[in-house]
């Protein structure tokens, strides 16, 4: 038997642990104590006020003592705060490590791509420069070729007008002519002499180009020669050169006064005639 220490009501149900009126925990009592109290109370009177207990009402179900009690106070909050802070701290450390690994790789990749882009630009610029240089060289060569062609055409068509230049060219031609005579170089003589060449030797003999070349013989006695008193006169495409040539033959000197005539043909001077007189 159990009794409510608050309202002093007694209950015989063994499973009942709380007072059905005020919820106070019941305490067990002996039969003597019940007798002394003078009354054994049962269930609350019915709504009709008959004073008898309604045993047909459903049995009271006591609360589960394993469940947390509402009077135990507020739940502790600090474990949750500590847990959240720990999660945030771990997340920050993880992000820092990831950034320390990923960012340098991204920077290296960016620098590499930038270097490749600059290399591509430089390579394209170099290729364009080479193309421009090649184009410039090609154009320069074309221009030079055209200038040379034009100069050649102009030279072929127009004879030189500078007397000093003409004198130098005819002096060189006289040396080639003399060397061709000494060596009997018929090929060189064919180039130096014009087709209408006619010459008069020191003994008064006249020869045309064909006879001159066919009868030429090698000279083995002349040791050297020199030209003196050269004078060139120019008249359009015709030129005349006068002077003295001195030969050293077997330790002796032979001097000849000459007058050679030239014409400008095929872009060069060609001999059309010569007169030679020995100086005694």
* Res 89: pLDDT: 87
Query: For residue 104, is it within any domain?
Result: yes
Are 60 and 87 in the same domain? no
Query: For residue 8, is it within any domain?
Result: yes
* Res 73: pLDDT: 46
The span from the CA of 196 to the CA of 238, in Å, is 14
Are 194 and 258 in the same domain? yes
Neighbouring-strand partners of residue 257:
244, 277
Are 96 and 48 in the same domain? no
CATH of the domain at 223: 3.10.450.50
Would you write out the chain's pLDDT as a tens digit for each of its 280 residues? 788 888 878 877 777 777 877 778 878 887 665 555 554 444 444 433 444 444 444 555 555 545 444 444 456 778 888 889 889 989 888 888 888 888 888 887 776 665 555 555 556 555 555 555 554 444 444 444 544 444 444 445 789 999 999 999 999 999 999 999 999 999 999 999 999 999 988 788 899 999 999 999 998 888 889 999 999 999 999 999 999 999 999 888 999 999 999 999 999 999 999 999 999 8
Query: For residue 203, is it within any domain?
Result: yes
Query: For residue 120, is it within any domain?
Result: yes
The total number of structural domains in the chain stands at 3
Q: Which of 66, 96, 114 is the last residue of a domain?
A: 66
Are 250 and 173 in the same domain? yes
Query: For residue 47, is it within any domain?
Result: yes
Are 169 and 272 in the same domain? yes
| Gyration radius from the chain CA atoms | 70
Are 44 and 90 in the same domain? no
Are 250 and 227 in the same domain? yes
The span from the CA of 152 to the CA of 162, in Å, is 17
Neighbouring-strand partners of residue 262:
239, 271
Query: For residue 139, is it within any domain?
Result: no
Are 275 and 167 in the same domain? yes
Specify whether the CB–CB gap between 192 and 173 falls below 8 A.
Answer: yes
Are 57 and 84 in the same domain? no
Q: Which of 66, 88, 107 is the last residue of a domain?
A: 66
Query: For residue 155, is it within any domain?
Result: no
Specify whether the CB–CB gap between 241 and 230 falls below 8 A.
Answer: yes
* Res 179: pLDDT: 93
Query: For residue 74, is it within any domain?
Result: no
Q: Closest Cα partner for 212 from 184, 172, 235?
A: 184
For 19, the domain range is: 1-66
CA count, 13 A, side-chain hemisphere, 81: 4
Are 123 and 168 in the same domain? no
Specify whether the CB–CB gap between 278 and 256 falls below 8 A.
Answer: yes
Are 193 and 233 in the same domain? yes
Q: Which of 34, 66, 98 is the last residue of a domain?
A: 66
The span from the CA of 117 to the CA of 121, in Å, is 6
DSSP string, the chain: -EE-TTT--EE--SS--B-TTT-PBPEE--HHHHHHHT----SPBPTT----B-TTSPPP-PPPTTSPPGGG-PPP-HHHHHHHHHHHHHHHHHHHHHHHHHHHHHHHHHHHHHHHHHHHHHHHHHHHHHHHHHHHHHHHHHHHHHHHHHHHHHHHHS----HHHHHHHHHHHHHHHHHHHHHT-HHHHHHHEEEEEEEE-TTS-EEEHHHHHHH-----SEEEEEEEEEEEEEETTEEEEEEEEEEEETTEEEEEEEEEEEEEETTEEEEEEEEEEEE-
Are 58 and 122 in the same domain? no
């Amino acid at each position: 038997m159990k009794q409510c220490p608050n309202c002093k009501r007694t209950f015989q149900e063994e499973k009942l642990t709380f007072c059905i009126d005020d919820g106070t925990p019941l305490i067990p009592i002996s039969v003597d104590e019940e007798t002394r109290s003078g009354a054994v109370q049962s269930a609350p009177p019915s709504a009709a006020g008959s004073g008898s207990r309604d045993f047909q009402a459903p049995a009271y179900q006591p609360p589960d003592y394993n469940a947390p009690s509402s009077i135990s106070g507020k739940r502790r909050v600090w474990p949750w705060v500590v847990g959240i802070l720990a999660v945030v701290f771990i997340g920050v450390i993880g992000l820092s490590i990831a950034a320390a690994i990923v960012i340098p790789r991204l920077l290296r990749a960016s620098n590499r791509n930038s270097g490749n882009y600059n290399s591509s630009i430089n390579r394209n610029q170099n290729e364009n420069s080479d193309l421009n240089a090649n184009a410039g060289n090609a154009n320069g060569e074309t221009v030079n070729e055209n200038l040379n062609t034009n100069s050649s055409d102009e030279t072929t068509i127009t004879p030189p007008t500078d007397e000093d230049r003409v004198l130098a060219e005819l002096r060189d031609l006289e040396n080639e002519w003399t060397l061709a005579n000494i060596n009997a170089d018929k090929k060189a003589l064919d180039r130096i002499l014009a087709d209408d060449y006619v010459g008069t030797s020191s003994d008064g003999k006249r020869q045309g180009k064909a006879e001159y070349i066919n009868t030429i013989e090698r000279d083995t006695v002349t040791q050297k020669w020199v030209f003196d008193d050269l004078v060139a006169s120019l008249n359009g495409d015709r030129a005349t050169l006068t002077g003295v040539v001195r030969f050293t033959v077997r330790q002796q000197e032979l001097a000849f006064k000459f007058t050679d005539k030239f014409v400008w043909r095929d872009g060069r001077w060609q001999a059309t005639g010569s007169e030679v007189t020995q100086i005694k």
